[in-house]
Each structure stands twice: as structure tokens, then as C-alpha cells.
């Protein structure tokens, strides 16, 4: 990525370290989330549904695991289209089969068909689609997350399940190994991914 890159919902700007030195990075996030959830500040505060940027002013927009947290996803995509230069790149990533997170600001899940429809509605051309997670990977991910949450709650409530905490890293290691082996052996099947990544171009 080169030129001016806008990272909406930038969090701690982890993406920045992967960009080339001549890239002009702009991290944007809400004031509330920056103040309460992260230990770093964005370059600008802003609302993804009303971007504080001029028309046709950025080369690339990143929206990574953010769309599901917006009350109006369509407004955000419309604003991204407005802000991108013609031919500019939109990199979108969303979870699909994944637990509720950052509650109560977690509003929806998207299938790839829903993403295709809304991007085409706003005149984006999809150039790449990537399914994230084969069935075994998604299943094991959810199992690991559920077990981790169960043990965390047990720790807080002094539940007898606390005895499982020392074994948790080993359980996760074994489950991840099973996911890798199953994914390699089993035929590819995209019916239950944990997420999607799409690259689209502004027409």
C-alpha cells in the first residue's frame, strides 16, 4: 500500500508497522473507544459513518473487524466510497461465526453474499474474496474461546472448574493441532468460516 492510507477503527494502529515508510498513514477512531479501550491515540477522532475527510482524498481505506460494530454499515461504506480516489482500494475484513465482542457495540454478522450486495450497491468492484477458516478451524476456535471464557468466569467466581486452568494451554495446543491436521486432510469447504476478507476498487 502506498499513498494516503486511512485505517478506520485503528485501535492501537497495529497495521502501521507493516506499511512502507513513504506511506501517509491516518488512524481514525472514536474518542470513547480510544480513551477507554486502548493505550494509544488515533491521528484523528471521527465517526466512520461521517468521515472528516474530503471527497476523493485517500488512496486506500482499511476497515478491519469494524463493520459489525456500526449502527449503519451502509452509511460507512458510502462514506468510504466518497473519500476514496477513483481507482482507490478498499480492504474490508469482518467476522462471521464468532462470539459477541465489544458489547454492546456488536450489531451484526455478514455473509459474503451480503457483502457482495452492499459493495456492488455502492459501485465498488470486488477484485478478491478470501474465506477465513475451514470448518475444523472455526469449530476449534470457538471451542477454545468458549473454554477460555468458562475458565475466566470460574476464576472470577471461585468455581471448582479452576482446577482446569493449568491444563488450558495444553488443551488449546492439542485442539489447534487437531484443527490443522483436519484442515489438511479434509476437502475444502467454505460453509462455516469465522470471517471474510474482501478487496474492492472504487470504480
Q: Please report the pLDDT score of residue 70 as a whole number.
A: 96
CATH number at residue 19: 3.40.50.150
Structural domain for 114, as ranges: 4-133+193-202
Q: Please report the pLDDT score of residue 175 as a whole number.
A: 92
State the average pLDDT over residues 17-34.
91
Q: Please report the pLDDT score of residue 44 as a whole number.
A: 95
Q: Are residues 91 and 144 in the same domain?
A: no
Q: Are residues 129 and 167 in the same domain?
A: no
- Is residue 163 over pLDDT 90? no
pLDDT band at residue 51 under the 50/70/90 scheme: very high
**Total number of domains in the chain:** 2
pTM of the model: 0.89
Q: Please report the pLDDT score of residue 108 as a whole number.
A: 96
Q: Please report the pLDDT score of residue 32 as a whole number.
A: 79
Q: Considering the chain, what is the average pLDDT of its residues?
A: 93
Is residue 96 within 8 Å of 152, Cβ to Cβ? no
Q: Are residues 64 and 79 in the same domain?
A: yes
Q: Please report the pLDDT score of residue 165 as a whole number.
A: 80
Q: Shortest CA distance to 51 belongs to which of 8, 87, 13?
A: 8
Q: Are residues 110 and 154 in the same domain?
A: no
Q: Are residues 112 and 162 in the same domain?
A: no
Q: Please report the pLDDT score of residue 193 as a whole number.
A: 98
pLDDT band at residue 67 under the 50/70/90 scheme: very high
Taking only the tens place, the pLDDT of each residue in 74-106 is 999 999 999 999 999 999 999 999 999 998 999
Q: Are residues 29 and 87 in the same domain?
A: yes
Amino acid at each position: 500500500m502506498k499513498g494516503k492510507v486511512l485505517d478506520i477503527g485503528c485501535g492501537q494502529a497495529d497495521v502501521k508497522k507493516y506499511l512502507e515508510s513513504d506511506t501517509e498513514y491516518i488512524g481514525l477512531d472514536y474518542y470513547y473507544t480510544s480513551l477507554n479501550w486502548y493505550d494509544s491515540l488515533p491521528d484523528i477522532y471521527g465517526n466512520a459513518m461521517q468521515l472528516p475527510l474530503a471527497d476523493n482524498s485517500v488512496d486506500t481505506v482499511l476497515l478491519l473487524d469494524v463493520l459489525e460494530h456500526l449502527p449503519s454499515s451502509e452509511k460507512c461504506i458510502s462514506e468510504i466510497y466518497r473519500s476514496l480516489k477513483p481507482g482507490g482500494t478498499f480492504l474490508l475484513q469482518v467476522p462471521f461465526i464468532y462470539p459477541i465482542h465489544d458489547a454492546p457495540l456488536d450489531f451484526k454478522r455478514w455473509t459474503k453474499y451480503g457483502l457482495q450486495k452492499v459493495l456492488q450497491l455502492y459501485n465498488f468492484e470486488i477484485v478478491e474474496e478470501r474465506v477465513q477458516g475451514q470448518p475444523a478451524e472455526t469449530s476449534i476456535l470457538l471451542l477454545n474461546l468458549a473454554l477460555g471464557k468458562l475458565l475466566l468466569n470460574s476464576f472470577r467466581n471461585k468455581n471448582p472448574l479452576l482446577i482446569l486452568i493449568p491444563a488450558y494451554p495444553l488443551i488449546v495446543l492439542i485442539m489447534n493441532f487437531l484443527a490443522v491436521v483436519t484442515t489438511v486432510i479434509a476437502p475444502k469447504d467454505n460453509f462455516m468460516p469465522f470471517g471474510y476478507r474482501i478487496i474492492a476498487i472504487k470504480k
